Amino acid sequence: MADFAERRRTMVDTQVRPSDVTSFTVIDAMLAVPREVFVPPAARDLAYVGGPVALSAGRQLMEPRTIAKMLSALEITPRDLVLEIGPGTGYTTALLARMADAVVAVEEDETLARDAEAALLAQGVDNAAVLTGPLAEGSPRNGPYDAIAIFAGVERIPQVLLDQVKEGGRIIAVFLQGQLGEVRLGVKTHGLVTWRMEFNATAPVLSGFAETPSFVF
């Protein structure tokens, strides 16, 4: 039988810490949440490898290194209300729930949403709710949010989502331009979100977050 606890420690020691992630809160969450529970059963042996894990509906769970660096950049506090867009099977939701006061996760794929709810319930996570709805709309009725996390690729972020960031709040995502991508952190000041580049990364673009094709006449 696989020793997943040992694999989790190895993941943190060989993938997370060497990536300049020094936040005790992030490291504690990565050590505590069993990543293998949140991947398809056939992929459990791949849960702690250095790359992404394929989920259903063309989605993927990002590699541990990128998730940890994004969490570190967001600087989640125990007072924060967090919105997560596209939680997939709920692994990143569970990480956020250990760090924040509460998490609202919006997932439009009903199968993934059910899987996330079941996994979070099994892990005793009681400060996170998984809502089913369009990813690009977020959940305005539960906001505004101290932080919005998108552990996936985007080409653009709809204004309706930026409007849900609280003044002084943060938002993070992987921005794609062709095959190249970079993680950007946005901070809302005086009603406007200002972005800065954090590090290079790539991930599939979420539904509703692709650039609208322009037509040339």
User: How many other C-beta atoms lie within 10 A of the C-beta of residue 207?
Assistant: 16
Contact present, 21 and 68 (Cβ < 8 Å): yes
pLDDT at 216 over 60: no
- Virtual torsion, Cα 207, 161, 99, 151, nearest 10 deg: 30
DSSP conformation class of 39: S
Please give the mean pLDDT across all residues of the chain. Answer: 95
Contact present, 105 and 125 (Cβ < 8 Å): no
Q: What is the DSSP string of 41-108?
A: GGGGGGTTSSS-EE-STT-EEPPHHHHHHHHHHHT--TT-EEEEE--TTSHHHHHHHHHSSEEEEEE-
Check residue 213 and give its pLDDT: 64
Question: Closest Cα partner for 76 from 67, 88, 87, 64?
Answer: 67
Q: What's the length of the chain?
A: 217
Check residue 135 and give its pLDDT: 97
Chain segment 91-142, per-residue pLDDT in tens: 999 999 999 999 999 999 999 999 999 999 999 999 999 999 999 999 999 9
Q: Helices 110-122 and 91-99 meet at what angle, rounded to 10? A: 50
pLDDT at 214 over 90: no
Give the rounded percent of residues in the chain with a pLDDT score beyond 70. Answer: 97
Judge if the upstream peptide bond of residue 140 is cis by omega within 30 degrees of 0.
no
Take residue 179 and report the two structure tokens written for it: 């095959």
Q: What CA–CA distances, in Å, run from 92 to 2, 60, 70, 165, 194?
A: 22, 12, 11, 19, 24
Residue 180: band (very low, low, confident or very high) from pLDDT cuts 50, 70, 90: confident
Give the rounded percent of residues in the chain with a pLDDT score beyond 90. Answer: 92
Take residue 156 and report the two structure tokens written for it: 């653009």
Which residues sit opposite 105 in a β-bridge?
84, 130
Check residue 211 and give its pLDDT: 87
Q: What CA–CA distances, in Å, run from 105 to 5, 31, 195?
A: 26, 22, 23
